[in-house]
Each structure stands twice: as C-alpha cells, then as structure tokens.
Amino acid sequence: MSKKLFIETLGCQMNTRDTEHIIAELNAHSDYIQTTNSSEADLIIINTCSVREKPVAKLFSELGQFNKTKKDGAKIGVCGCTASHLGDEIFKRAPYVDFVVGARNVSKISQAVEKKGTVEIDINNDETDYEFSEYRSSNFKANINISLGCDKQCTFCIVPSTRGDEISIPAEIILNEAKKSALSGAKEIFLLGQNVNNYGKHFSNKESEKYTFTKLLQEISKIDGIDRIRFTSPHPLHMDDEFIEEFASNPKICKLIHIPLQSGSTAILKDMKRGYTKEWFLNRCERIKAKVPNVRISTDIIVAFPDESEEDFLDTLNVVEKVKFDQIFNFKYSPRPNTPAATMEQIDSEIGTKRLQTLIDLHKTHQDEHMEKNIGKIHSVYFEDLKPNGEIMGFSDNGLQVFVKGSEELLGKIVDVKITQNSRTSLKGIVVE
C-alpha cells in the first residue's frame, strides 16, 4: 500500500528543485502519494531555508505543531539549508525529529528515512554526477540545476556554509535533462544555480573544463521543443559583454533578468564583498536595456546592512531611480551565524524598517509606470494554470503574469495576447487569433 508524504518547501528556487529531487528519490525506493494534510501523512518533511532568521524560527514552531498533530508512527525529517547549518542541534531542540538531511545531501534521503537519528550534512558532498530519479511539479516547465554551492563569501550570506563550494554539473547531464523534459512536453527550461553565469569555472571532473554559461545557453537552445530558457541567479560581476550579447540575440532566452544589486553604495558593496561598484552595476543594466528594449529587470536589495549611513541608503535609492526595476525583493538585513557581517556595527532595527518602507514606496511608483505601458501591447504568453473562475493564467516571455478568459485548450500553448487591463502585479487581455 502506498504511504503518504507531506512536504513543505521554504526559500528559493533551488529548494524547490531539491524538493522535486527528494520526491523523486523517495518514490524510486518506495511508493508515496503526496498529501497537503500533515496529520494523515506517514512521512513529514520540511525543506528549509536559512538565508534569513525568520524561516529558522518558523521551522521550530512548525515542527512542534507537526509533532502534536501527526498520526501514530509518522516520521518527521528536516532537509535543506537549516538542516545543513544546524545538523544534530535540531535533535536537541526537537528530539522527536527522525532525520536531518542537508541541502547538498539529497541523494541520501531514502537511507535517512529508514534510519532514525541519521544526520547527513556534508557540504563537500559531490552530487554533480548523481543522476536523480525523475519528478517534476509542473508539466510545462522544467527546473534544472546547473551548479551547486557558492564560492563568493558575501559577508552577509550563510549560503556558502550550507551549500558548500561551487561546482558545475557536467554539460552532458544538463543537456540530457533538458532533452528529456522537452520530450515530456515542457517548453520552458529554468536553469538554477547560486551564480549561474559563473558556470563552467569549477567541475569536479577536470575533463569537463572550458564550458561557459553562454555556450550552455546556446546548446540548450538547439534542443527541439524548448521555446523558452530562463535562469537564476546571475551575478553582476560575471555579466560580461559576451553573455549580454547572447541574452539579447537568442530569441529563446526570456527577457526577464534577475540582477541582485544588494546595495547601491560602493562602500557598502565593498563591505559586503560583492566585487563590483555602483557604476559597474549601472553600466551593466544600461547595456542590457540598450540591447534589449523589452527587457524587465528584477533585483534583490538589502537595507540596513551594518554601518549603512543615510548617504549609502540614498545611493541605493539613486540606483533604483535610475534602473527603475520591474521587481524588487527587499530585505532588511538579518545577522546570520558565523558570517562576518554579524559581528559588524549593527543598525537600529527601526531605521531598517523605515528604509525598507521608503524603498517599497519608491518601487511602487515604478511598477505602476511599467505596468500601465502594457495596455494595447501584444505579448506572447505560455499558459500553465486554469483558474476556477474561467480564467487561464500564463507568463509573457519577459515574465509578466497574464490572465485571459479561456478553456483548458490553451494549457501548454504559447499564444499572442493583446493586453486590455493592468494591476500593479499582473495583466489581463484577450487572445489574438
């Protein structure tokens, strides 16, 4: 008889892909069906994030809740970045947890489930050659990892200590996965890594050397059936002209790009060890905009990093004003254990809250400006989700969420849509015959 699996995913796109790998590996060894009700599950897994403090606190309150409401004999496992970071400390705080499997140890999940007390958190574990079993949460899009870990050591970031050193996955494995996904009907490929445009710099297998991210994009776009390629996250430092040229000229590459700014102040960027200046960042954005007129740019910004002065913050606002990002993921700095920034001079939390609000308010005016410009335009939309109200939702090739009235016939199709209405975050339109 099949067992029931409840799995919750917190955090980034990498964690979403890790969850797919976890489900695939569990199913390869045992028969699971997924449930959204933790109290009927035989196995409860939380795939965590530890990039900021909040999700870590949430983990322990949720674990307590799951333990109270779980059915007799059900197992509880903690996976992901917090698992890597806290290891067996998790058992001390939540002794009823059965196993702990880190973000770089997903291949060990099936054994861990079988052995109470297992802790698999080696951040040097090399899974780049590991062939995971198949499972995808969407029929229309395929997430594919192209690298693991990160070598950057940004002073605010816990990721290098939870996901280990950066290694690229051999191109043959990536291309095979992309071909398989295309055959199963996925028209969109989403390439994932902590610094995707550093792809090819470190392989554990030396023979695979000399492969750039640009070349990988070119090879993937040759695959029949793949119409859209997306990726996250590129690092501003590695945004060379060759890459920008490929981004601009390859029609299969979606014209939405995430360029994490973090701060607009060159002094703070230096303290963050980001490796670029305000001017370099602006220059890259200007170049992309000049080459790709319909590009949409998203970013990550941290406010109230240690020592951030009012002047530094004004520099960030100045970059926001100049680039007019289409989307900003804003964060108030959160000190993380064993990171250099955690021991620097901290900013008063209220100042951080105020700066965050100023940034959000400025960004809203840009969002409205951008979204209104879409009225009357035609976007090519890939439809993926039928809503109960008779609408069908998809994304334009530059990442705009678009709704039209329509039936399931549109699912999985890329169709031209004329935009008739906008809100701050999505568009409505009609299909153009």
- Judged by CB, which is closer to ligand SF4: 143, or 339? 339
76 binds ligand 5AD (CB under 6 A): no
Cβ–Cβ < 8 Å for 395, 382: yes
Return the residues of window 182-211 that contact ligand SF4 according to CB under 6 A. 194-195
Return d(Cα 126, Cα 165) in angstroms, integer. 10
DSSP H or E run through 43? strand 43-48
Backbone angles phi and psi of 24, in degrees to 5: -60, -45
Angle made by CA atoms 64, 51, 339, in degrees to the nearest 5: 115
User: For tokens 């002794």, what's the residue?
Assistant: 95
**How far, rounded to the nearest angstrom, does the alpha carbon of residue 266 sit from its chain's CA centroid?**
26
| 300, interface contact from ligand 5AD, ligand SF4, none, CB < 5-8 Å by kind | ligand 5AD
Q: Where are the alpha helices (DSSP H) in 197-293?
A: 213-221, 241-249, 266-272, 278-291
Q: How far is the CB of 83 from ligand SF4 (least distance, A)?
A: 17
- Judged by CB, which is closer to ligand 5AD: 234, or 429? 234
Question: Token pair of 91, please?
Answer: 């058992």
| 150, interface contact from ligand SF4, ligand 5AD, none, CB < 5-8 Å by kind | ligand SF4
297 binds ligand 5AD (CB under 6 A): no
160 binds ligand SF4 (CB under 6 A): yes
Judged on CB neighbours under 10 Å (0-12, 13-18, 19+), 50 is buried
Q: How far is the CB of 274 from ligand SF4 (least distance, A)?
A: 7
Return d(Cα 168, Cα 208) in angstroms, integer. 9
Q: How far is the CB of 300 from ligand 5AD (least distance, A)?
A: 3
- For residue 391, give the 3-state DSSP assignment: strand
DSSP H or E run through 371? helix 349-372
149 binds ligand 5AD (CB under 6 A): no
51 binds ligand 5AD (CB under 6 A): yes
- Judged by CB, which is closer to ligand SF4: 138, or 153? 153
- 10, 22, 121, 157: which one binds ligand 5AD (CB under 6 A): 157
- With a CB cutoff of 8 Å and minimum separation 6, the contacts of 348 are none
DSSP state of 24: H
168 binds ligand SF4 (CB under 6 A): no
Q: Which stretch binds ligand 5AD (CB under 6 A): 36-44, 62-70, 333-341, 400-408?
A: 333-341
Cβ–Cβ < 8 Å for 281, 261: yes
- 43, 76, 150, 288: which one binds ligand SF4 (CB under 6 A): 150
Q: What is the 3-state secondary structure (H, E, C) of 123-144?
A: CCCCCCCCCCCCCCCCCCEEEE
- 262, 263, 398, 422: which one binds ligand 5AD (CB under 6 A): 262
Q: Which stretch binds ligand SF4 (CB under 6 A): 24-32, 110-118, 156-164, 280-288?
A: 156-164
142 binds ligand SF4 (CB under 6 A): no
| 194, interface contact from ligand SF4, ligand 5AD, none, CB < 5-8 Å by kind | ligand SF4
- 56, 167, 220, 302: which one binds ligand 5AD (CB under 6 A): 302
Q: What is the 3-state secondary structure (H, E, C) of 65-100?
A: HHHHHCCCCCEEEEEEHHHHHHCCHHHHHCCCCCEE
**Binding mask of the shown chain, residues 379 to 408, with x at each position contacting ligand SF4 by CB under 6 A:** ------------------------------
Interface residues with ligand 5AD (CB under 6 A) are 51-52, 156-157, 260, 262, 300, 302, 331, 333-334, 336
Interface residues with ligand SF4 (CB under 6 A) are 150, 152-154, 157, 159-160, 194-195, 235
